[in-house]
């Protein structure tokens, strides 16, 4: 079962409201959190939950964010959870509204995240972050190729 997050912007998506103290907006995790189209990821992630019964799944931002952190640093599942538990920037990145001393999920949940998130979602997100293409733009497939004139010597 999954309850999609509201697409309404939360005050907690602004780093200055995180636990009512400002985070450094130049931090790589704050910048990346602002870059990622979380609402589009949320919609794709929600489709992977067929049943309306059972425990409620973790939010898309938490699941995808944790996998990004794991891959970025090459952590084990256990180390990923511990680093998130200790780092307010990583907690902000995965969408927590305030710093908490407890881990937001168990290391075993990382396996569920990997099973739940389609590889094409991660591929599209990686391409988007790397600036290769924007699969989240409307009519992304209809974008014309770059037609810049070739450089001419002066």
Contact in structure between 70 and 20 (CB atoms under 8 Å): no
Q: Residue 103: what pLDDT?
A: 98
pLDDT at 76 over 90: yes
Average pLDDT over residues 130-150: 53
Average pLDDT over residues 97-122: 93
Contact in structure between 94 and 84 (CB atoms under 8 Å): yes
pLDDT at 28 over 80: yes
Structure tokens at 141: 């497939």
Q: Provide CB contacts within 8 A for 2, sequence distance 6+.
A: 45, 46, 48, 49, 56, 57
Q: What are the phi and psi torsion angles at 106 (to 5°)? A: -80, 160
% of the chain surpassing 70 pLDDT:
71
pLDDT, greater one: 75 or 40: 75
**72/66 Cα distance (integer angstroms):** 10
**50/37 Cα distance (integer angstroms):** 23
pLDDT, greater one: 135 or 115: 115
**Which segment of 51-65, 69-83, 105-119 scores lowest on mean pLDDT?**
51-65
Q: Residue 126: what pLDDT?
A: 87
pLDDT, greater one: 17 or 84: 84
**132/113 Cα distance (integer angstroms):** 25
């Amino acid at each position: 079962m999954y309850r999609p997050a509201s697409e309404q912007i939360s005050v907690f998506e602004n780093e200055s409201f995180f636990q009512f103290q400002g985070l450094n907006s130049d931090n790589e995790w704050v910048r990346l959190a602002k870059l990622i189209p979380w609402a589009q990821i949320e919609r794709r992630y929600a489709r992977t939950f067929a049943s309306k019964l059972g425990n409620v799944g973790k939010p898309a931002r938490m699941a995808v964010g944790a996998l990004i952190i794991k891959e970025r640093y090459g952590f084990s599942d256990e180390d990923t959870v511990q680093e998130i538990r200790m780092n307010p920037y990583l907690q902000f990145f995965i969408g927590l509204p305030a710093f908490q001393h407890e881990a937001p999920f168990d290391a075993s949940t990382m396996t569920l995240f990997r099973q739940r998130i389609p590889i094409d979602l991660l591929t599209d997100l990686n391409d988007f972050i790397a600036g290769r293409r924007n699969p989240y733009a409307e009519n992304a497939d209809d974008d014309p190729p770059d037609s810049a004139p070739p450089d001419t010597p002066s």
